Chains A and B, each alone.
Chain A
Amino acid sequence: MSGGDSQLWEVFVRPRRGLSHVHVGSLHAPDAQVALHHARDVYTRRQEGVSIWVVPAAAISASSPDEKDAFFDPAADKVYRHPTFYHVPEGAGHL
């Protein structure tokens, strides 16, 4: 039980119906079922969620910090992509 067989899992919790799963942190577990249990115990102790996803951290392909400029900067001066001319209806909280 040294934890040597554990792998890293990323945890996503959906706070309530209608919202998306949001990354809340990571944990160690030997398999998916244990990871789900651990996630329940570590991240939803205070009724934070109605649904949990756990994903092996190794299965996540992430954009590289080195490519940040090439990836994101070109969007910086394209204000026409922002729908600023719409009126957001009242009551639509999560656009």
Chain B
Amino acid sequence: MKSEVSTADLVEYLLRLGDDALVTAQRLGEWSARAPEMETDIALSNIALDQLGAARLLLTYAGEIEGAGRDEDALAYLRADHEFRNAQLVELADEQPELGHDFGVAIAKLLCLSAYQQPLYQRLCSSTDERIAGIAAKAVKESAYHLDFATLWTVRLGDGTGASRDRMAGAFAVVWPYTYELFETDDLVARVAAAGVGVDPSTLREHWSEVVGGVLAMATLDVPETSWRPTGGRTGRHTEAMSYLLAEMQVLHRAHPGAAW
């Protein structure tokens, strides 16, 4: 390993990347057999599998350099909620107040996330850590498609009927406060960025605002305004939704350790 960052830093950074992808995959997987159309159902499941693929590579690598004998399964299935390092955005249930399960929220989350992941992976392609660079090179193409897909639906629903526009606007109102956490910087990202291993997410913010703002404009939606900016996911503080998500994701492995099919 060429990087100059400490093992603990690198593990922590990989968990942030990997947990974002893993929790996103789990949420998107909930749409299997529930999406508005069969074609959309397959698309969301495909995207979930892309995210899961990236998560497996990142968590496997994290487990290897940690050297404590934890593999991807141990990291995914045997950590408690406070040990997860994903941003709170990805754990949010795809629901709107009074509407319940909502495709618009899933799309709004995917747009905000992929507009962040795509340039992030793009930059990580030139990470000084070859393993991270390799994972990013695979993931960046997938992210570009996720962004494309989310853009397509945001525009069609936002600039669609009155009802679809209201739902899409409501979805962004739910999601927007949680987007700020994606770009937070701290000592850890400063160290991994200085070593050329990782990326300081605050440097992605401007590009993100342009991309997402452009999509919202095409969708005739206003950029939401909020002064409430919840945070804490990167240090293991999560919303209530996270515990339910983990319960469902982990129950099988905890009941039948090592179960395979």
- Residue from the list A3, A31, A33 in contact with B37, Cβ < 8 A: A3
A6 to B38, CA, bound (A): 12
**Minimum CB distance partner of A30 in chain B:** B156
Interface residues of B, dominant DSSP: helix
Flag if A3 contacts B42 (CB, 8 Å): no
Size of the A side of the interface (Cβ < 8 Å), in residues, is: 16
Tell me whether A41 is interfacial, beta carbon within 8 Å: yes
**CB atoms of B148 and A37 under 8 A apart:** yes
How many B residues touch A, CB cutoff 8 Å? Answer: 14
Contact in complex: A3, B36 (CB < 8 Å): yes
List the count of A-B residue pairs having beta carbons below 8 Å apart: 34
Decide if A62 is an interface residue (CB 8 Å cutoff): no
B152: chain A residues at CB < 8 Å are 33-34, 37
Given A28-B37, A37-B148, A38-B42, 17 more pairs with CB closer than 8 A? A1-B36, A2-B36, A3-B36, A27-B39, A28-B39, A29-B39, A30-B156, A31-B156, A34-B152, A37-B43, A37-B152, A38-B39, A41-B42, A41-B43, A41-B46, A42-B42, A45-B46
Name A's interface SS. mixed
A-B contact pairs, 22 of them (CB 8 A): A1-B36, A1-B37, A1-B103, A2-B36, A3-B36, A3-B37, A6-B37, A27-B39, A28-B37, A28-B38, A28-B39, A29-B39, A31-B156, A34-B156, A37-B149, A38-B40, A38-B43, A41-B39, A42-B39, A42-B42, A45-B42, A45-B46
Interface bits B21-48 vs A (CB < 8 Å: 1, else 0): 0000000000000001111101100100
B-binding residues in A (CB < 8 A):
1-3, 6, 27-31, 33-34, 37-38, 41-42, 45
Look across to chain A and name the residue whose beta carbon is closest to the beta carbon of B37.
Answer: A3
Residues of B near A41 (CB, < 8 A) are 39, 42-43, 46
Q: Which residues of A contact B149 (CB under 8 A)?
A: 37
